[in-house]
Structures are given as structure tokens and as C-alpha cells.
Amino acid sequence: MTTITVPSTINPLSPNGFMLSVNKLPDLAYFCQQANLPAINLGVADFNTPLSVQPIPGEMLTYDQLDIQFLVDANMANYKGIHDWLVGLGFPERWEQYSNFTSYDTLARTELSKNFSDASLSILSATNTVVQTVEFKDLFPISLESLVFQSTNTDVTYLTGRVVFRYGYYKFL
């Protein structure tokens, strides 16, 4: 006979309670509307036997992208912060754009680490207490969606931005 064990908590997790904090983007935290906990995948290797091919666990993890949707603040500080980070990494006009970007990061231990930031996603309970924290290591933006301004709206619809990040890995604290 199978015994059923009751888990320590039977309350489901609400998708409404979270806080996102990106060290390089302090203006983003308050305006974050949506964040995902990205998928993690383990590669698979095939082991050939005389009768069949058997899958065995691989040794490389791959992490999906971190997608963030946020309200753009009235001064566009959060949008501009992401934009400036992307421009600093891609320096479309001249090399000084990169060197100016990295010179602002006085806390980075190495020159390369100035390209990255750490971030944390705090998952909250129904009483708004942190039940889990996920830390993202070596995060950097790879895309920032466009903003559409429209004078024909009859109601005020506030602008939302969307940014996609890549990172080295994440872990639960």
C-alpha cells in the first residue's frame, strides 16, 4: 500500500507577489510589472547499447532568458538606464561609449565584470513576506523593446517597456 505524505504547506504560490532588483538598474525595481523565473535545461547524451540507444544525463545546463516587463517612469529613467547599458556594451558610435559606461561602475572587481550585474527575484507570500529569493549572476541586457507613443488614445494607457536579459546562472538562496 502506498502512503501519502502531506506537504508542510498546502497553499499554492500566488503569481502576484514578487520584487525584482537589478544592481545596475535601481530605477527598475519599483516599476516592475512582470518577471519570469526562466527554465533550466540539462543536456542529454545518448549511450549506445547492442539493443537500443539509452539517454543519460548530460553535463551542461542551459538557462532561458529573463524577461522583464515594467512601467516606464515619467522621466524615463528606468528605460534610459537599460538603453545606456546596451549602448555601453555595443558602443555604436565610438569606443568611448564603452569606456564611459564602465567608468561609472566603481564596485566592479575586474574590467570585464563592469559589463554585468547581479539581480535578485524575491518571491513573496500572501502576507508579502519573502518566501524565496532567486539570485541571477552576471546578468546583462540583450534587447529592449520599442515604446509606442500614440496621440489617438482616448484613455491614458501608461507605457510599458520590455527588456530581455541573459545571465550566467541563477540559484536559490
Work out the average pLDDT over 58-66: 94
Q: Are 116 and 138 in contact (CB under 8 A)?
A: yes
What are the C-alpha distances in Å from 45 to residues 2, 39, 40, 54?
34, 20, 17, 8
pLDDT of residue 73: 96
pLDDT at 63 over 70: yes
The model's pTM: 0.85
- Topology (CATH level 3) of domain 25-40+57-172: Pnp Oxidase; Chain A (2.30.110)
pLDDT at 131 over 60: yes
